[in-house]
């Protein structure tokens, strides 16, 4: 089945070379009868991972709001009246206390986000000690700070950073409907800088922005066709926030999320696929189907960046009901 979804161009390559994907083949996967898609995705998942293990990442917004970018989904853009107030960078003490709490609650990775277009070098002076402190607690570290230059990525690597999150968000074709202040190529350049610095790449996107199935397929293709696919792939469902241009976008069906996760799993079999923003609009059964489809990571903790996430106690009960065991990533 897998070979049928590879393009002609790859048919003569060895199995060592990652297969390249076409939008048409990806769309065909996304649209398969659900039982066939789930079977293929779950079988792939079992070939590469323990199907009963889940990786837990906790998010902390270390610098909230006031962002100059115009990402239409984002409550932290200064252009939209969302009620999110701009704040200064959190102190080292505040970050250490949140990271300790995350560790005690069972997270293995601590992810820090900043509402910047791109960090200045003096911003990195203040982020480096935060990364070092998170590492000292024995947690994996991840940051998402906007666009990076190669020297900045190298600096983060020297600080001990494990993962950098920078999403492609949507297809190259639909992208212009959502963001005008940075290009798709800007994002690819940041991902290349992160990869060249030997930091693990965390890169995914959002569904529910008003994109078509073809756009979803094109996003997954972009991710899977990167020179090296990301180690971590967050699949977010749009969280509709009052005041943003997408506040009145229709709610997407949980099956769209399940299908997107399953297709990501098949196309990027070695990646951790994270069921990310939007879990609060999914019931436990829909989330369990995402885990069956190959999602093996979540954001764990009661806050995402500016919006809420399921209660940790609820998540623990869900893991216990379905026999999932929290694990550490590599």
Say if CB 191 and CB 166 are below 8 A apart. yes
Q: Which residues partner with 327 through β-bridges? A: 55
Tell me the angle at which helices 34-48 and 254-267 cross, rounded to the nearest 10 degrees.
40
Out of 26, 77, 144, 232, the only residue in the binding site for ligand DTB (CB under 6 A) is 144
Is position 72 an interface residue for ligand SF4 (rule: CB under 6 A)? no
Out of 25, 169, 211, 315, the only residue in the binding site for ligand SAM (CB under 6 A) is 169
Give the interface segment with ligand DTB, choosing from 250-258, 289-297, 301-309, 314-322 (CB under 6 A).
Answer: 301-309
Tokens representing residue 172 in the block: 């190259």
Query: Residue with structure tokens 């990652």?
Result: 18
Instruction: Quote the CA–CA distance of 147 and 166 in Å, as a whole number.
Output: 8
Is position 312 an interface residue for ligand SF4 (rule: CB under 6 A)? no
Give the interface segment with ligand SF4, choosing from 49-57, 69-77, 87-95, 229-237 (CB under 6 A).
Answer: 69-77
Say if CB 133 and CB 100 are below 8 A apart. no
Instruction: Quote the CA–CA distance of 275 and 39 in Å, as a whole number.
Output: 19
Residue 291 has φ and ψ, to the nearest 5°, of -65, -40
Is position 206 an interface residue for ligand SAM (rule: CB under 6 A)? yes
Out of 22, 64, 108, 144, the only residue in the binding site for ligand SAM (CB under 6 A) is 144
Encoded one letter per residue, x for contact with ligand SAM by CB under 6 A and - for no contact, window 219-248 reads -----------------x-xx-x-------
SS3 string, 48-104, reads HCCCCEEEEEEEEEEECCCECCCCCCCCCECCCCCCCCCCCCCCHHHHHHHHHHHHH
Interface positions with ligand SF4 (CB under 6 A):
67, 69, 71, 74, 76-77, 115, 117, 146
Interface positions with ligand DTB (CB under 6 A):
59, 75, 113, 144, 165, 167, 204, 234, 236, 239, 276-277, 304-307
Interface positions with ligand SAM (CB under 6 A):
67, 73-74, 113, 115-116, 144, 146, 166-167, 169, 206, 236, 238-239, 241, 277, 305
């Amino acid at each position: 089945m897998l070979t049928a979804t590879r393009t002609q161009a790859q048919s003569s390559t060895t199995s060592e070379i990652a297969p390249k994907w076409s939008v048409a083949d990806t769309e065909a996967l996304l649209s398969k009868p659900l039982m066939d898609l789930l079977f293929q995705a779950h079988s792939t998942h079992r070939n590469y991972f323990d199907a009963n293990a889940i990786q837990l990442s906790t998010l902390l917004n270390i610098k909230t709001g006031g962002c100059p970018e115009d990402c239409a989904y984002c409550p932290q853009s200064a252009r939209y009246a969302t009620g999110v107030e701009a704040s200064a960078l959190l102190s080292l003490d505040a970050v250490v206390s949140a990271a300790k709490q995350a560790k005690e609650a069972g997270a293995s990775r601590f992810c820090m986000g900043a509402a910047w277009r791109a960090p200045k070098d003096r911003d990195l002076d203040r982020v480096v000690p935060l990364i070092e402190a998170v590492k000292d607690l024995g947690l994996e570290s991840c940051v998402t700070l906007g666009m990076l230059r190669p020297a900045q990525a190298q600096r983060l690597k020297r600080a001990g950073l494990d993962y950098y999150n920078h999403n492609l968000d949507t297809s190259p074709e639909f992208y212009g409907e959502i963001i005008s202040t940075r290009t798709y190529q800007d994002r690819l350049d940041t991902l290349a800088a992160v990869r060249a610095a030997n930091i693990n790449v965390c890169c995914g996107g959002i569904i529910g922005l008003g994109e078509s199935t073809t756009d979803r397929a094109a996003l997954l293709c972009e991710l899977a066709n990167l020179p090296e696919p990301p180690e971590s792939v967050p699949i977010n469902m749009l969280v509709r926030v009052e005041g943003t241009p997408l506040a009145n976008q229709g709610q997407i069906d949980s099956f769209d999320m399940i299908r997107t996760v399953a297709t990501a799993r098949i196309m990027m079999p070695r990646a951790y696929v994270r069921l990310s923003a939007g879990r609060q609009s999914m019931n436990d059964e829909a989330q369990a189907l995402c885990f069956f489809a190959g999602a093996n990571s979540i954001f764990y903790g009661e806050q995402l960046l500016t919006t809420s996430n399921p209660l940790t106690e609820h998540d623990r009960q869900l893991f216990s009901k379905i026999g999932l065991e929290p694990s550490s990533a590599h």
